[in-house]
Amino acid sequence: MIYRQKYVPLADVCDIQSGFTARSALVEDRVGGIPAVQLGDLRGDIEVPLASASRFKLDGKLDRYLVSPGDVLFRSRGEKNTAVIAVGDAGDQAIALLPLIVLRAHADVVLPEFLMWLINQPEAQRYLDSCARGTNLRMIPRDCLDKLPVSIPDLVIQKLVVEVSRLAAKEASLLRELAQKKEEFTSFALLRQVRNAQLHGNEAGHPVARQPSKHAGK
């Protein structure tokens, strides 16, 4: 029996909102400003903490651009067109600035973590590559993102996928840490061997006092 996956457009499983466009250069205001997330803040592979967002002077109607914990942020420009998830406490919020795009998962259909995972998979990335625009500055058009074909299993399967993916990422991190520790230990051991060899070489090179000959003085 052949099972066929059912694909639907991304726009069918989440609300998609382009980030806020600032009318002028951003001016930081640490006291009275509004927290805002920029493309440069997405340094991590899977998470962006809202609590660390910088504050800027922003004008206009901003409510629809608000990002809350659990929202997914998509990089629509740059070489890396992947998604991360916003994390923080219940009251943490920030404004998403273009070229970020906010994806709000339909809770009864898809988990935010699964949505992020799905966008970052090779199949989805190949689709995004096919409709990327620009040479010096790569950009993913909004309509391309809206039509990204996704296959959504039931929520139980989604939870399993997210957990296995989390454990795999943790394992990879631990393996990298272990490899680094092994390299440090090997370097330390080799350096110690070099020092020991130099020490023994110096000792072997010291002149040895010659014993007086039996015929000396005769």
Q: What is the 3-state secondary structure (H, E, C) of 74-89?
A: EECECCCCCEEEEECC
Residue written as tokens 């014993």? 211
For the cut 50, the answer to whether the pLDDT of residue 24 exceeds it is yes
For the cut 50, the answer to whether the pLDDT of residue 106 exceeds it is yes
Instruction: State the Rg of the chain over Cα.
Output: 29
Question: pLDDT tens across 154-212, in order?
Answer: 999 999 999 988 887 777 668 787 888 888 888 877 788 888 878 776 666 655 445 55
SS3 content of the chain, % helix, strand, coil (to 5): 40, 20, 40
Question: pLDDT tens across 140-154, in order?
Answer: 999 999 999 999 999
Phi, psi of 196 (to 5 degrees): -65, -40
Q: How far apart are CA 51 and CA 88, in angstroms?
A: 6
Domain ranges in the chain are: 8-152, 154-201
Superfamily in which the 8-152 domain is placed by CATH: DNA methylase specificity domains (3.90.220.20)
Torsion of CA 25, 30, 33, 39, to 10 degrees: 50
Highest mean pLDDT among 79-88, 198-207, 209-218: 79-88
